[in-house]
Structure 1
Amino acid sequence: MQIKAAAMTAALLALLTGEALAHFGTVIPSENIVTPAKKNVQLEISFIHPFEQKGMDMVKPKQFFMVRGGEKTDLLPELKEAKVLDHQAWTADVAIKKPGVYGFGMEPTPYWEPAEDIYIIHYTKTLVAAFGDDQGWDEPLGLATEIVPLTRPFGNYAGNSFTGKVLLNGKPVPDAEVEVELYNKDGKFAAPSDYHVSQVVKADGNGVFTFACPQPGWWGFAALNKADYKLKGPDGKEDKGVELGAVLWTYLDSYKSK
């Protein structure tokens, strides 16, 4: 209940201040479809408000890895410090050598959010297809909580509906609430109201949700749940609640003229 109360407080603050407060971990690649002309991807790892284009400092993640065909590769040593929206973030340059679907997963170091009096841990993932292969995109990466796509997460157009399943400890989360935001690069779009910044969809009894993405670009889906454990607060004394986020990023294209 502590997480819910904190979320209600944050929502009230958003209405009073005109600032929405949804947080999203990001793992955003330079492309989500790799062709022979481009054999590597650059990944941006950050913690931001994606629509509002406001950043937060992110210390080095606990895990950053790649999965292809069931084989897991540790990419933590590949991370380099960077700036995203004038805050500490991370990048990695990864060579793509073989056909396949590459899953990139990140577990952050817990982020203390004083405004909500909780820790936030957003397990974040994205999927990249390479050289024409499209097998394995619906397999979990093994994160503590994650969204498994039920719509192939690449080769889609803006306006398509996207369907995913929310997992926590490998099991579906009934009635999960999923926040959705567009990565509003360069602040191109303005929201008609604060309610439009983070859109919300509810999963069904099997943890499955569907959302139609109206604009081309990167879209983030974040399913939030309360952890069954607590962490010591910054003072090292009082135990604090933990918000677990399952975050998935997918790209929607626009039609091209001939």
Structure 2
Amino acid sequence: MFQTELYHVFKSFTLPLVAAGAILSSTAQAHFQMLYTPDLLRERGGQITLKMPFTHPAASGHVMTAETPQSFYKIRKGKKTDLTDAIKPISWTSAENTGPAYEADVKLRGLGDHVFVMEPAPYYEESEDKYIQQITKTIVNVGSLPTDWNEELGLKTEIVPLSKPYAIYEGGTFVAVVKSEGKPVPFAEIEVEYLNYEPDLDNNSFAKDPKITPPADAFITMTIIADANGTFTFGLPKAGQWGFAALEVGPEKEYKGKNLSQDAVIWVQAHPIK
């Protein structure tokens, strides 16, 4: 009831940028396509590994059985490099199960932003009788030289940063706009989760112990609503990586005769103040 009334308030008024997205509670764990490497801000390039489990990162939850990604590539200074052939199957272990996942070893050459994009195959969620496809971005910067971080990539749907997703202080804010086929999505619903269980890259698993203890289940998956221009702001209270998933914002609504939730996902990193 409260969420419905609040949604109509958002529909009736254009929220200012700084107030975009009142936080709503959710006790369900959110699906999140991960595209993970530990450091999104690096002094030098070199070899990195990106892990791609489809899981529930805030709670070390169930690892879904995902098919081979449809595409995986990198954008740097406007140039696209296909990395699909670098994808390798792995298994990923959470507190609940071990499931199939993927990884890719790639080399970062040159300063600037390396924007990685992974488009997974749609996943059938039996409990909801629908498919989910989360088009995911992770931006890795080398040398603190900004290049492509705020560029729109022409994806079916994407979250376009308005603040550098790799250069945020703990306690700072992440600002972005949700787009579908290049157009802002008014009042988009965005789920937010903290990567609360540190990924163990050597063992392809989450750590056994969480980094924080949420004060209530409502903090496992938080939901915010973008403003009338598709823009949202979220404060990052804890250092680490945070995932943002804008739900059902893509243009494709059906797959294999069933409903399709085509989502836009981005991962950002907050850094501690020492």
Name the TM-score class by shorter chain. 0.7 to 0.9
Q: Does 1:203 align with 2:218?
A: no
Unaligned runs of 5+ in 2: 1-24, 198-206
- Written as runs of structure 1 = structure 2, the 5 A alignment for 1:169-188 is 169-185=181-197, 186=207, 187-188=209-210
- Relative contact order higher in (CA < 8 Å, ≥ 6 apart): 2
Displacement of 1:228 in angstroms is: 4.4
Residue matched to 1:70: 78
Residue matched to 2:88: 80
Query: Is contact 2:115-2:148 (8 Å) kept?
Result: no
- Written as runs of structure 1 = structure 2, the 5 A alignment for 1:46-61 is 46-54=53-61, 55-61=63-69
Q: Distance in 1 between matches of 2:136 and 2:148?
A: 18
Residue matched to 1:192: 215
Q: Match of 1:250, SS?
A: strand
Displacement of 1:40 in angstroms is: 2.2
Q: Does 1:45 align with 2:52?
A: yes
- Written as runs of structure 1 = structure 2, the 5 A alignment for 1:81-120 is 81-85=89-93, 86-120=98-132
Identical columns (%)? 38
Residue matched to 2:200: none
Q: Distance in 2 between matches of 1:30 and 1:21?
A: 23
Q: Distance in 2 between matches of 1:112 and 1:24?
A: 14
Q: Which has the higher strand share?
A: 1
Query: Is contact 1:105-1:125 (8 Å) kept?
Result: yes
Q: Distance in 2 between matches of 1:196 and 1:58?
A: 26
Task: Provide TM-score, normalisation by structure 1.
Answer: 0.85
Displacement of 1:154 in angstroms is: 1.4
Letter in 2 for 1:174: P
Q: Does 1:139 align with 2:151?
A: yes
**Which of 115, 125, 129 is equivalent to 2:137?**
125
Q: Match of 1:195, SS?
A: helix
Unaligned runs of 5+ in 1: 1-14, 233-238
User: Which aligned runs of 4 or more in structure 1 are off by greater than 6 angstroms?
Assistant: none
- Written as runs of structure 1 = structure 2, the 5 A alignment for 1:143-158 is 143-158=155-170
Displacement of 1:39 in angstroms is: 1.7
Q: Distance in 2 between matches of 1:24 and 1:35?
A: 28
Displacement of 1:19 in angstroms is: 6.7
Q: Match of 1:225, SS?
A: coil
Task: Provide TM-score, normalisation by structure 2.
Answer: 0.81
**Which of 237, 255, 262 is equivalent to 1:231?**
255
Q: Distance in 1 between matches of 2:113 and 2:214?
A: 34
Query: Is contact 1:30-1:41 (8 Å) kept?
Result: no
Q: Which moved more, 1:201-210 or 1:223-232?
A: 223-232
**Which of 227, 236, 240 is equivalent to 2:258?**
240
Displacement of 1:57 in angstroms is: 2.1
* Count of matched residue positions in the alignment of Structure 1 and Structure 2: 234
